[in-house]
Amino acid sequence: MRISVSVPHDEKLLRRTVKFLLRPQLKFIRIMGGVLVVLGLVLVAMDPSDPIAHLAMILGLLFVVAVAPIAVARSMRGVPDVLKHGFHVTLDDEWAIVTYPLAESRFRWAGLGRVVETPEVWYIMFGKYQAVTIPKGPMTEEQREEFAAFVGRLQHTRG
């Protein structure tokens, strides 16, 4: 396999990748927020004048609603400028190579953790927080099929 495509900078794609990487932590925070809301409701039912009950509900709602957008926004501000340009991705039987104008990353398929496919991209995970985003849009239909088959074989052999 040898696939080589250029990917223009896409702020929305970068934001979706950040959300994808933050999803496990944000899920836990949302669950904890829900627990706080329920706890606050129980406490309010027991004593409507208890300020702790109202505080628990407010904090819980903030955890459920506000933490995710704030975390994504802060993460987006922390993305290095070197990644805020288009990139070129080259995929072959041994390597996934992502080249930006000022940086290059090379990943051996032997280090592959897992692959998550969405309608728009493949997230190639080389660790818990290390993802290479392979957008489907710049690829031809033949390249998408070839890469999907390659990834399927990789995942099958890795068990």
Domain boundary residue, one of 78, 98, 132: 78
Count of structural domains, the chain:
2
Asked whether residue 16 is domain-assigned, the answer is: yes
Q: Which helix (H) or strand (E) holds 106?
A: strand 104-108
Structural domain containing residue 150? 2-8+85-154
What CATH number does residue 90 fall under?
2.30.29.30
Domain shared by 95 and 147, yes or no: yes
C-alpha to C-alpha distance for 121 and 40, rounded to whole angstroms? 40
Domain boundary residue, one of 78, 98, 130: 78
C-alpha to C-alpha distance for 57 and 33, rounded to whole angstroms? 8
Residues whose CB is less than 8 angstroms from the CB of residue 150 and which lie 6 or more positions away in sequence, other chains included: 1, 91, 93
pLDDT of residue 136: 95
Asked whether residue 159 is domain-assigned, the answer is: no
Asked whether residue 125 is domain-assigned, the answer is: yes
pLDDT of residue 58: 94
pLDDT of residue 63: 95
CA angle 127, 129, 134 (to 5 degrees): 85
Domain boundary residue, one of 21, 52, 78: 78
Mean pLDDT by runs of 10 across the 159 residues of the chain is 92 91 92 95 92 93 94 91 89 94 92 92 88 93 95 80
